[in-house]
């Protein structure tokens, strides 16, 4: 098959949550290892507590650009201005809400209220030049009152709230990542490029080493307006080797 759309080499990033255990012991060394693996951009999550200016210095020393940071909804509800201040000090352009608490998804109306809250936070952060997005897991695709959380979010989230689609969790939720990217074209701005090993029990894999159709995902994503392709694993078997293999695979698919 000839692919008309390809991602660019400089659109590949790494979610640092993948290396959270290594970063807890040696943040500076971990960031240097990320750069040595070929990455030039990262998404923040799971890092040890570090002052924004110090973290920015370490990232700059390793030649790493920050493309987004995971920020829990609890922190935004407590003090959205403090979140914005910290991200501004980091030079981070996006906040991604990575999880919907159980209490916010008991009913369809709960989900609608959650979507409205995200819209409000997106408008507040936009005043500081920071975009807001939402990251899925698999629970969004389970039935809820004749629909799904995901369909409610697609219908209720205002356009200023971006989507970070995790293709692994879409698959675990029983859906086709290519179809979901296409259905949300123009809204999905970041992808978590996490593969899935075959077998009845889901387990994540480095991109290119599982069953997900990454060439098709990339072609659809480029047409849909995706800006960042972010390698990630929740439970890597060999973290530094896994991120290096993921980078080589994704870089090989880039133009």
In Å, what is the CA distance from 90 to each residue of 44, 85, 94, 155?
11, 9, 11, 32
Q: Is the pLDDT of residue 2 over 60?
A: no
Q: What is the CATH number of domain 9-253?
A: 3.20.20.150
Instruction: Check residue 146 and give left, alpha or beta (phi > 0: left; psi -120 to 50: alpha).
Output: left
Residue-by-residue DSSP string for the chain: ---S----GGGEEEEGGGGHHHHHH-HHHHHHHHHHTT--EEEE-SPPP--HHHHHHHHHHTT-EEEEEE--HHHHHHHHHHHHHHHHHHT--EEEE----GGGSSSHHHHHHHHHHHHHHHHHHHTTT-EEEEE--SGGGSEETTEEHHHHHHHHS-TTEEEEEEHHHHHHTT--HHHHHHHTTTTEEEEEE-EE-SSSS--EE-TTSSSS-HHHHHHHHHHHT--EEEE--SS-SSHHHHHHHHHHHHHHH--
pLDDT tens digits for 151-175?
999 999 999 999 999 999 999 999 9
Give the pLDDT score at 5.
56
pTM of the model: 0.96
Alpha-carbon gap, residue 43 to 135, rounded angstroms: 12
pLDDT tens digits for 8-44?
999 999 999 999 999 999 999 999 999 999 999 999 9
Cβ 240 vs Cβ 22: under 8 Å: yes
Give the pLDDT score at 6.
74
The count of other CB atoms within 10 Å of the CB of residue 146 is 7
pLDDT tens digits for 127-139?
999 999 999 999 9
Mean pLDDT of 202-225: 97
Give the pLDDT score at 255.
82
Give the pLDDT score at 32.
98
Q: Is the pLDDT of residue 3 over 50?
A: no
**1: confidence class by pLDDT, cuts 50, 70, 90:** very low
pLDDT tens digits for 66-95?
999 999 999 999 999 999 999 999 999 999
Mean pLDDT of the chain: 96
**121: confidence class by pLDDT, cuts 50, 70, 90:** very high
């Amino acid at each position: 098959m000839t692919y008309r759309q390809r991602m660019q080499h400089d659109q590949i990033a790494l979610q640092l949550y993948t290396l959270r255990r290594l970063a807890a012991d040696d943040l500076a060394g971990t960031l240097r290892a990320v750069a040595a693996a070929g990455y030039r951009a990262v998404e923040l999550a799971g890092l040890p507590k570090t002052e924004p200016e110090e973290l920015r210095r370490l990232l700059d020393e390793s030649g790493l650009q920050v493309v987004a940071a995971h920020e829990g909804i609890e922190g935004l509800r407590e003090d959205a201005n403090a979140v914005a201040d910290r991200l501004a000090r980091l030079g981070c352009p996006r906040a991604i809400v990575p999880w919907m608490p159980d209490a916010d998804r008991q009913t369809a109306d709960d989900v609608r209220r959650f979507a409205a809250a995200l819209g409000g936070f997106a408008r507040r952060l936009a005043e500081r030049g920071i975009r807001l997005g939402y990251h899925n897991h698999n629970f969004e695709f389970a039935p809820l009152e004749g629909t799904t959380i995901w369909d409610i979010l697609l219908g209720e989230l205002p356009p200023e709230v971006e989507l970070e689609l995790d293709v692994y969790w879409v698959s675990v939720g029983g859906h086709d990542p290519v179809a979901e990217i296409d259905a949300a074209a123009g809204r999905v701005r970041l992808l978590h490029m996490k593969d899935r090993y075959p077998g009845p029990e889901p387990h994540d894999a480095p991109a290119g080493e599982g069953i997900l159709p990454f060439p098709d995902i990339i072609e659809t994503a480029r047409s849909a307006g995706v800006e960042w392709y972010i390698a990630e694993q929740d439970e890597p078997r060999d973290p530094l080797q896994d991120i290096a293999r993921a980078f080589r695979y994704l870089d090989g698919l880039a133009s």
